[in-house]
Amino acid sequence: MPEPRLSNRVALITGASRGIGAAVAERFAAEGAHVILAARTVGGLEEVDDRVRAKGGTATLVPVDLMDHDKIDQLGQSIFERFGRLDIAVGNAAMLGDLSPMSHYAPKVWDRVFSLNVTANYRLIRSLDRLLRGSDAGRALFVTSGVARNAVAYFGAYAASKAALETMVKMYALEVATTPLKVNLIDPGVIRTKLRAQGFPGEDPMVHPAPEDITDRFVELAEPAYRRHGEIVPV
């Protein structure tokens, strides 16, 4: 049987109660990582925890609203106090917002989308940077989307926020280039998720891969041996 690829690593995954976040968390745990599951939905976190433990993995649950940005600062401190380190961070949590012409977009919805998709990830970087740099092979992964680079009408706040996320993460990668920390963006493509269904409610979801079908690339980017840095990596 092959050696687990993330043995004894400590990994934080946001948006871990469903979809890509849940699938990545379960796969990381199966590869030997202790996973810290962060999301708003307690019931969803508990279901993921049950599946992780049923397969012999271990998890810590962190029910948190990432739009309460001060809680993200507390998250870094809590991880340090419990584990003393963090090896992997996956910034996955995101929201679509409304599908609307730019001139009609509701300001409150715009602000909420940017609060989660951009500002929460900035606060994660701010909170977790020293922990990740303290790892022998820190890995920070942020989930992006092709609409950040290829505009799609009516995807206003989501597309703009993912473009902002990409620029922010690339800057962070430049700033830590002389450290062991590797920072990358990962573009999963079109996946069978709730967010996809919100954006394209009329399509057959079964024509797209399930989240668990794309976790290989996440494991690859999280491994200590991975060397690419500051890139957008497609699944």
- Over the stretch 78-134, which tens digit does the pLDDT of each residue have? 999 999 999 999 999 999 999 999 999 999 999 999 999 999 999 999 999 999 999
Residue 162 pLDDT class (50, 70, 90 cuts) = very high
CATH of the domain at 43: 3.40.50.720
Residue 195 is predicted with a pLDDT of 75
What's the confidence (pLDDT) of residue 47? Answer: 98
In the chain, the number of structural domains is: 1
Note whether residue 2 is domain-resident.
no
Determine the Cα–Cα distance for residues 129 and 151; give it in Å rounded to an integer.
Answer: 31
- Average pLDDT of the chain to the nearest whole number: 95
Q: Is the pLDDT of residue 172 over 90?
A: yes
Catalytic (active site) residue 158 = yes
pLDDT recorded at residue 1: 65
Q: Which domain holds residue 59?
A: 10-234
Q: Is the pTM of this model over 0.85?
A: yes
Residue 214 is assigned to a structural domain of this protein: yes
Whether 1 is in a domain gets the answer no
- Domain-located, residue 146: yes
What confidence category does residue 203 fall into, taking pLDDT thresholds of 50, 70 and 90? confident
Q: Which of 105, 158, 172, 226 is catalytic?
A: 158
Give residue for tokens 């995954």: 13
Residue 42: pLDDT above 90? yes
The total number of residues shown for the chain amounts to 235
Cα–Cα nearest to 137, from 176, 80, 83, 165: 176
Computed from CA positions of residues 191, 196, 200, 203, in that sequence, does the dihedral angle turn out positive or negative?
A: positive
The rounded percent of the chain whose pLDDT value lies above 90 is: 89
Look at residue 86 and tell me if it is in a domain.
yes
pLDDT at 207 over 90: no
Report the alpha-carbon distance of residue 87 to residue 105 in Å, rounded: 39
In a domain, 4, yes or no: no
| Rounded mean pLDDT, 157-173 | 97
198 has a pLDDT exceeding 90: no
Q: Is residue 5 part of a domain?
A: no
Minimal CA–CA distance to 38: which of 18, 58, 9?
18
Are 95 and 67 in contact by the 8 Å Cβ rule? The answer is no
